[in-house]
Structure 1
């Protein structure tokens, strides 16, 4: 590739773009919420909501007449993606009903509008399925367990994340060969852990609740002891999952330096002008970082840029890896990934949550992530490449994940409890845990209702998956399997 500038920006480049103050809107979209809550404690406000939105009502859902078909949804969501990569996306979604769910957050958003909505708003993941939790490294070498995918994040109904998590556990369990009772128990336990964790956070001092349960102590809290061995193995693998290890496998010596290997379709070299456009966007990225980090990145130089295919929901979006080297030749790899509007945006608006002001979609993803995680990648930022918004983050910062569809039967409900607890902690950063805890209550009524919904929606997802497979077999959709 041609010579490109270093990562360092101009001296004194502005930074300090930390998360600004978040005004918690509370019961967004609930008619009369302001007057109904007057004089009541937050817990009482949540409890009073049960009359308007009974917890048992969360079990109910019916497909509406205007619901798009599975194939129609996939075709529509492929718009704007790179056509050469959409067969990979279709192939991944066709692999199983659980895989289909992972790529169809927009379709589920359409359906969730027709379910019970409390009106309590939170910063939600938007795609909180069971495979979007995992381990990653913090800046000091520690390991954190948390949500780790925020492409669809926005302000919306907290229960949407919970229903997506519960449904994904049912589908993952079915794929693993678990019995239906086990699958439903995992969904029910996830909701129960969410409810109990929210109650715990509501009783804690605010600062303690804010920083709670992001490490191995969560396993004990969530009564997920059967997972200990699995998490230890994932952690050992995650610690080796670094930029240096990736660079050692994915680069070669060329012209006195390193360059990425050409290994399509997953990793591909790009034309010089495309690589230069990505590199030229990095000074703008620096301006989205805290100012104290500028000297760190200023000691690296851009070495190469390549295109790299990303996960199921994002296949077909533009995504690059940027190889940086320090003065000793030690690598740091950044991922520069296209950011599009959340697929849940129109559905959240229908549910009574007004859309945010138009802005940079990479910024939306980054700030949403910071609002939900206890510890985030210190190099999270955003950039604009040839007019398109991107998010920027470290690539392979000791990430590790559990495949929920490969868990043993006795681990599935433990995993459900762990992820349910994590989700509650994430929501409690932006929603008052006292209000949600007041609504959820002490009984298992909500647990049972969401588990019933999850089983029913898993059945619908299996039908949707079947439609997609039929379209592939019939030649309507091209699919490339095993990529």
Structure 2
């Protein structure tokens, strides 16, 4: 199937479009009730925070437009804040996509549009004109196009190994920034290198006469013993030890042998992100032979991708497995401890916490932090934002090039040329207006009392 630039730039069909707030509330049905108002509050802060949490809304809009028919593994939520730094298994600090909750096969341009539209929303939120925002989105699309075309002249193995090291980032764009910006970037890199389990231990834990415990800081961080007050500490520990054993079966045997050297200490529920608020997310502390050898794992609930209603069914029964597969396929260097598991769903109400006999929750597991770091999008002037967007466009193309669809994508974009960049940018500026209206709709619903919102600190 071929697609024209006009079709790439075709606007979403707003006739009969569903209420964006209602769509968000549909997602709320499977989330933790006490955290749903926090999600609404975070999304209401600005059009950009709304955009970050509204992947389901945009997926429906993308599905209403013509598509290329060229399917590849998508990130599914490739906005600016879902790119960042982390340590590779070789302990190099790399820059790559770092969130795959919505990963799913789909038309390649959906990821590009998700990235480019985030450029326009962020640029406008930072005070840029529509013309400046359009240019930023166009440059991101151009970087994607050029990189994917270049990849088609490489071997499959070369594409698989392509990556962006943090030193390259500083070298390639550092001299294009002012001194303050360059120093700020260097500070982010230094800070990221020290974000690991040892640093998490000092920040997230306290020590008393009975030993080391994860600190209680509700609702942001709540130890499992407080989440399940009707269960004994031994019962809670046994549940998480069972989850750990289930997860360990999903990793390769040599890594399972590594995990055997760690003993479970304690778990806690942790609030993360914007779009993920309300999903079940746990952190678990493990100790090696002594607590000076800590390991923090994150267990994050994996629901069906927001792209799933509009694409072919996933081949994975476990949604955590879906996330891990997408991450390992699209990232140049993935966390070696990625894994998945399923567990009965627990629900909470005024009567306490109980197991839902009909519910099963899927989770994926990864290391907590491990060098992870990111830049603050909200304080970037448009020149820096444009450079950053080009870098993200390059990385997104590298991720798509690891799949078998890189040749048809490259042929498509080679034929479209610069018209692809302009069409994506035109579409992005138009979509930023739709997103702004959707954000206003949420704010109005909160003001009217139709949607509950409370700050996380409340």
TM-score > 0.5 by shorter chain: yes
Does the CA contact (< 8 Å) of 1:58 and 1:450 recur in 2?
yes
2-structure distance, mates of 1:220, 1:338:
34
CA 1:105–1:403 in 2, change beyond 3 Å: closer, same or farther?
A: same
More off after superposition, 361-370 vs 215-224 = 215-224
Question: Which residue is equivalent to 2:321?
Answer: 363
Aligned to 2:285, the other structure's residue is in SS state: strand
1:104-183 correspondence runs (5 A): 104-183=54-133
Question: Which residue is equivalent to 2:296?
Answer: 333
Once the two structures are TM-superposed, the CA of residue 214 in structure 1 deviates from its matched residue by 2.6
Matched, 1:309 2:271: yes
Aligned to 1:123, the other structure's residue is in SS state: strand
CA 1:405–1:116 in 2, change beyond 3 Å: closer, same or farther?
A: farther
Once the two structures are TM-superposed, the CA of residue 244 in structure 1 deviates from its matched residue by 1.3
More strand by share: 2
Once the two structures are TM-superposed, the CA of residue 255 in structure 1 deviates from its matched residue by 5.0
Structure 2: segments with no counterpart, 5+ residues = 345-359
1:250-289 correspondence runs (5 A): 250-270=204-224, 271=228, 272=233, 273-289=235-251
Structure 2 residue corresponding to 1:232, chosen from 153, 164, 186: 186
Matched, 1:376 2:334: yes
1:80-95 correspondence runs (5 A): 80-95=30-45
Question: Which residue is equivalent to 1:479?
Answer: 453
Aligned to 2:275, the other structure's residue is in SS state: helix
2-structure distance, mates of 1:277, 1:429:
38
Q: Deviations over 1:416-474 (max 9, x none)?
A: 11000000000111143222111112731000000000000000000000000011111
Question: Which residue is equivalent to 1:385?
Answer: 343
Does the CA contact (< 8 Å) of 1:224 and 1:414 recur in 2?
no
2-structure distance, mates of 1:243, 1:217:
23
2-structure distance, mates of 1:216, 1:315:
29
Structure 1 residue corresponding to 2:12, chosen from 57, 62, 72: 62
Aligned to 1:324, the other structure's residue is in SS state: strand
Superposed CA RMSD in Å reads 1.8
Aligned residues: 428
Does the CA contact (< 8 Å) of 1:71 and 1:468 recur in 2?
yes
TM-score w.r.t. structure 2 length? Answer: 0.89
TM-score w.r.t. structure 1 length? Answer: 0.85
Q: Deviations over 1:88-120 (max 9, x none)?
A: 100110011111111111111111012221111
More off after superposition, 394-403 vs 354-363 = 354-363
Once the two structures are TM-superposed, the CA of residue 221 in structure 1 deviates from its matched residue by 10
4+ residue segments displaced more than 3 Å = 216-228, 272-276
Once the two structures are TM-superposed, the CA of residue 143 in structure 1 deviates from its matched residue by 0.5
Matched, 1:462 2:436: yes
Question: Which residue is equivalent to 1:432?
Answer: 405
Does the CA contact (< 8 Å) of 1:169 and 1:404 recur in 2?
no
2-structure distance, mates of 1:100, 1:78:
15
Aligned to 1:469, the other structure's residue is in SS state: helix
CA 1:220–1:328 in 2, change beyond 3 Å: closer, same or farther?
A: closer
Once the two structures are TM-superposed, the CA of residue 358 in structure 1 deviates from its matched residue by 5.1
2-structure distance, mates of 1:211, 1:217:
17
Structure 1: segments with no counterpart, 5+ residues = 1-29, 31-48, 349-353
CA 1:416–1:275 in 2, change beyond 3 Å: closer, same or farther?
A: same
Matched, 1:414 2:387: yes
Q: Deviations over 1:223-245 (max 9, x none)?
A: 67536825422211111221211
